[in-house]
Structure 1
Amino acid sequence: MFNSPFQALEWMVQQRLLLLMPNFLSEDQCQSLIGQAMQCPAGVAPVDDYGSTPSPVALRRTTLLETPTAINQQIIQPLERIKPQLQRHFDLVLNRHEMPQFLQYQPGDYFKPHTDLSDAPIYRERRLSLILCLNDHRQYQGGRLVFYLSNPDQPGRFLGVPVPPQSGLLIAFRPELLHEVVAVTNGERFTVVTWLAD
């Protein structure tokens, strides 16, 4: 189907399933955000956004850093500036965003294959998922973000497409895409996730 993961990523961009935006934030900005977020209270990241239930270990193990508005605005403001570009690429009208979630993956942490949609109202309204990489594999091993595409040559089988991590990289994708974060084996992985809705 594809000769390389890079070719698969290019195809996903051409199909308007994905958009990769390197240097969305500078490395200095990313390190500053990590430092600020690490001073915040930490809890278990829920699977849903209501915060009512801890994550089932079978699906997810991640730390949620409970960042205040002042930190969240450092993500929201630059996102607002690129919203027209996102709308053009994905052919969407995007009016609202969910509060950013600052996530810390420590050794053994993961998020198994999932999509960002469900029957809950807050999920149904999502039109675009966003992941901002705050650090890269100089600071951790494992923890790769992998998308899964249906393989037309082998019905019922999926092709894993990893995204090389890069500090400051913004990954925008359609929330129905199956994806996972493989387990971190060493160091700490920091990302920010949020969603845009119509």
Structure 2
Amino acid sequence: MILCIDNVLTPEELEQIHLGLKDAEFVDGKLTAGTYAKTVKENYQLKGDSDIAKEIRAIVNQALKRNSLFQTAVRPKAIRPLLFSRYEAGMFYGMHTDNALMGDDVLTRSDVSLTLFLNDPNTYSGGELVIDPSLGEQFFKLSAGSMIVYPSTFLHRVAEVTDGVRLAAVTWVHSIIRDAHEREMLFELDTVRRATFEKHGKTVEFDLLCKLHANLLRKWAEV
């Protein structure tokens, strides 16, 4: 499931992030790429151990925690530290697949990939996130503060920026629901359950939906 979520960040949070990034130190993005991915990666990334990186991560992490759509659709068990990328004219990230396992001392599985767009799409040309789920490439260029989440199993790339600057945050999520199809079924079932309650209140049908949702979650969850 590919899901776009609007207004993950408030205008105030976006402004705070932009102020922090304005004079921050960026380094070669290849430093955080895998062996093969670094051959097609051309961008800058915010220095990961800087104070401003820690401050901005805290802002975004709080936004992710409070976003009920993200929590319901992704079911996060662990979220990798966010990376903040900067693409200037001529920069891109070629087709690649994210590493299945990430971390040093403690490994986490990458089940869901996340891109949070940080600046107005009208301020730069190109720079689309391009996902290839074997049904043809899909292009995404969302408004500032909006986010896309998708299975980490997909091949994907960032199209070349031809003008302006593209700012984005990316990370990977270890979900309590490993299988992407199971996550999607639980999300759709929960959506129907909530809609049924809003329309009809607590009925026998609603109770059965709750029972089914709980039992599937019990069956599939890895906690």
Partners of 2:27 and 2:36 lie apart in 1 by 11
- When residues 59 and 132 of structure 1 are mapped into structure 2, their CA distance, relative to the original with a 3 A threshold, is same
Q: 1:74 aligns with which of 56, 59, 80?
A: 59
Q: 1:85 aligns with which of 34, 52, 69?
A: 69
Q: Tell me, which stretches of 5 or more residues in structure 1 are unaligned?
A: 1-16, 152-158
Q: Percent identity?
A: 23
Residues 171-193 of structure 1 deviation map (CA, whole Å, 9 limit, x = unaligned): 11111111110110000000011
Alignment partner of 1:135 out of 119, 136, 155? 119
Q: How far off is 1:104 after superposition?
A: 0.5
Paired residue secondary structure (1:135)? coil
Partners in 1 of 2:156 and 2:103 — Cα distance?
21
Q: Which runs of 4+ in 1 moved over 3 A?
A: 53-58, 84-88, 118-124
Deviation string for 1:142-193 (max 9, x for gaps)? 1111111314xxxxxxx11111321111111111111110110000000011
Contact 2:89/2:161 (CA < 8 Å) preserved in 1? yes
Query: Which secondary structure state, in structure 1, belongs to the residue aligned with residue 122 of structure 2?
Result: coil
CA distance 1:29–1:109, shift in 2 (3 Å): same
| RMSD over equivalenced CA pairs, Å | 2.6
Contact 1:45/1:63 (8 A) holds in 2: yes
Deviations 1:24-64 (A, max 9, x none): 11344324312212322210013646xxx899764110100
Q: Which residue is equivalent to 1:64?
A: 45
Give 2:56's aligned amino acid: I
Determine which of 183, 192, 197 is the counterpart of 2:160. 183
User: Which one-letter code corresponds to 2:115 in the other structure?
Assistant: I
The TM-score with structure 1 as length reference comes to: 0.74
Equivalent position SS for 2:7? coil
Aligned to 2:89: 107
Which residue number in structure 2 is paired with residue 163 of structure 1? 140
List runs of 5+ in structure 2 lacking aligned partners: 176-223
User: Paired residue for 1:19?
Assistant: 3
- Report the alpha carbon displacement of residue 136 of structure 1 after superposing the two structures with TM: 2.8
Question: Aligned residue for 1:96?
Answer: 78
Report the secondary structure of 1:165's partner residue.
coil
- For these two proteins, the number of residue pairs brought into alignment is 169
Larger RCO (CA under 8 A, 6+ residues apart):
1
The yes-or-no answer on 1:194 pairing with 2:171 is yes
TM-score (norm 2): 0.67
Distance 1:125 1:42, change over 3 A: same
